[in-house]
């Protein structure tokens, strides 16, 4: 055991560049000769996820030319310098398919050695096309290990989404009807269940300020040239176009002149915004906030990348929209713009429980 441990230490040191290849002796560099009868005594670990380093120890393991994970014939890269008669080190490819399978090693003589292994490949979601939904909304999830997904459930409910299509990197869902205000997704594939970090909001249970037009008694309350637009939309066919003239330092947004009484049951303000020609900082403003509406209050800045849709979800404890009483105005002001007139497009401006 001490010999194997020492060998691992040496091989990892070479892999990390602690020792240069030129510093190793010829005896240490020897990859061994190809054997007609290679034997694997141990694989460590026997179950792991992508990018994990694996060590196979045994005899006759020298001069390997390829390592392939059986499901989908996914090749694993390895450094022949680290291949000896008694051990070989390599990583699980991050593209390996999940589940029980053989790792197939082939040496220069064409002799194959099959070693049983279990690839842990839980589903992973990096981004979503939308975080708001109603019954029937299609949402595309982008991540990894999504091609063998069998079920997608709304966490904490019995509702399940319909799988429209799936590949290893992309999963398209049709969202279900639900009474939940919001939920994470529990995605299950051959390896097991995975709960997303992303939270998806049921629009039917949200307080709508602007979706397919003005809602809840709101209207255009902008200082600049703003209007409902069909030029771009994140959901549906319309968005709110907020125009800012060069050098004006203006605030665009929404007004309900009857006033909205405090609603402590709502926890977040969320919205999508499509950026202008360059990256800009906008500031959330409200007439009932401590700083008033459009009064150069910089306490809630949002950075809006150019030309793309970006999702924002801001805690109500940060916004304090009812600090001074009923809210009549909610909007976004800009310092400038200095170079030219700009326009931003807002969609699904809502309050979330």
On whether both 108 and 131 belong to a single domain, the answer is no
What does the H/E/C string look like for the chain?
Answer: CHHHHHHHHHHHHHHCCCCCHHHCCHHHHCCCCCCCCCEEEEEECCEEECCCEEEEEEECCCCEEEEEECCCCEECCCCHHHCCCCEEEEECCCCCCCEEEEEEEEECCCCEEEEEEEEECCCEEEEECCCEECCCCEEEEEEECCCCCCEEEECCCCCECEEEEECCCEEEEECCCCCCCEECEEEECCCCEEECCCCEEEHHHCEEEECCCECCCCEECCCCCCEEECCCCCCCCCEEEEEECCCCCCEEEEEEEEEECCCCCCCEEEEEEECCCCCEEEEEEECCCCCCCCCCCCCCEEEECCCCEEEEEEEHHHHCCCCCCCEEEEEEEECCCCCCCEEEEEEEEEEEC
CA distance 331 to 258: 16
On whether both 189 and 229 belong to a single domain, the answer is no
Task: Output the domain CATH number for residue 135.
Answer: 2.60.40.10
Say whether pLDDT at 166 is over 70: yes
CA distance 188 to 31: 42
Given 146, 176, 202, the domain boundary residue is 202
On whether both 9 and 103 belong to a single domain, the answer is yes
On whether both 57 and 152 belong to a single domain, the answer is no
**Arithmetic mean of pLDDT, 154-168:** 97
Q: Give the percent of the chain with pLDDT over 70.
A: 91
On whether both 210 and 331 belong to a single domain, the answer is yes
What pTM was estimated for this model as a whole?
A: 0.81
Say whether pLDDT at 88 is over 80: yes
Give residue 13's pLDDT band: very low, low, confident or very high (50, 70, 90). Answer: very low
On whether both 31 and 84 belong to a single domain, the answer is yes
On whether both 218 and 310 belong to a single domain, the answer is yes
**Which pLDDT value is given to residue 31?**
56
On whether both 93 and 166 belong to a single domain, the answer is no
Task: Output the domain CATH number for residue 290.
Answer: 2.60.120.260
**Arithmetic mean of pLDDT, 215-237:** 97
Give residue 152's pLDDT band: very low, low, confident or very high (50, 70, 90). Answer: very high
On whether both 213 and 342 belong to a single domain, the answer is yes
On whether both 253 and 227 belong to a single domain, the answer is yes
Given 202, 233, 255, the domain boundary residue is 202
On whether both 218 and 160 belong to a single domain, the answer is no
Whether 312 and 270 have beta carbons less than 8 Å apart is answered as yes
Whether 266 and 351 have beta carbons less than 8 Å apart is answered as yes
On whether both 213 and 322 belong to a single domain, the answer is yes
The dihedral over CA atoms of 298, 128, 94, 187, expressed in degrees to the nearest 10, equals: 120
Say whether pLDDT at 254 is over 60: yes
CA distance 199 to 203: 13
Given 105, 120, 135, the domain boundary residue is 120
Domain extent at residue 112 = 2-120
Residue 82 φ/ψ, nearest 5 degrees: -90, 10
Question: 89: which strand partners?
Answer: 55
Number of domains in the chain: 3
């Amino acid at each position: 055991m001490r010999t194997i441990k020492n060998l691992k230490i040496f091989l990892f040191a070479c892999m990390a560049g602690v020792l240069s290849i030129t510093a190793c002796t010829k005896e240490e560099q020897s990859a061994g000769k190809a054997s007609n009868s290679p034997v694997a005594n141990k694989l460590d670990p026997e179950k792991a996820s992508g990018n994990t380093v694996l060590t196979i120890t045994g005899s006759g393991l020298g001069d390997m030319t390829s390592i392939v994970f059986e499901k989908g014939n996914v090749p694993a890269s390895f450094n022949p310098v680290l291949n000896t008669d008694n051990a070989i080190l390599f990583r699980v490819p991050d593209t390996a398919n999940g589940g029980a399978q053989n790792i197939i090693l082939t040496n220069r003589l064409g002799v194959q050695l099959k070693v049983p292994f279990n690839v842990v490949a839980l589903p992973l979601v990096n981004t979503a096309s939308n975080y708001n939904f109603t019954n029937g909304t299609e949402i595309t999830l982008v991540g990894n290990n999504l091609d063998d997904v069998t079920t997608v459930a709304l966490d904490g409910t019995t509702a399940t989404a319909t799988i429209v299509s799936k590949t290893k990197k992309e999963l398209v869902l049709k969202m279900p009807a639900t009474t939940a205000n919001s939920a994470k997704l529990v995605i299950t594939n051959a390896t097991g269940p995975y709960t997303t970090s992303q939270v998806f909001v049921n629009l039917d249970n949200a307080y709508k300020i602007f979706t397919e037009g003005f809602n809840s008694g709101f209207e255009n309350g902008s200082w600049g040239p703003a209007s409902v637009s069909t030029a771009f939309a994140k959901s549906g066919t319309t968005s709110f176009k907020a125009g800012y003239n060069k050098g004006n330092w203006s605030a665009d947004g929404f007004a309900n002149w009857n006033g909205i009484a405090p609603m402590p049951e709502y926890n977040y303000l969320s919205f999508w915004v499509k950026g202008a020609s360059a990256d800009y900082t906008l500031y959330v403003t409200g007439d009932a906030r401590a700083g008033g509406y459009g009064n150069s209050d910089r306490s809630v800045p949002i950075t809006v990348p150019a030309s793309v849709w970006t999702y924002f979800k801001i805690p109500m404890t940060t916004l304090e929209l009812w600090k001074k009483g009923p809210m009549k105005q909610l909007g976004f002001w800009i310092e400038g713009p200095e170079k030219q007139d700009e326009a931003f497009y807002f969609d699904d401006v809502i309050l979330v429980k």
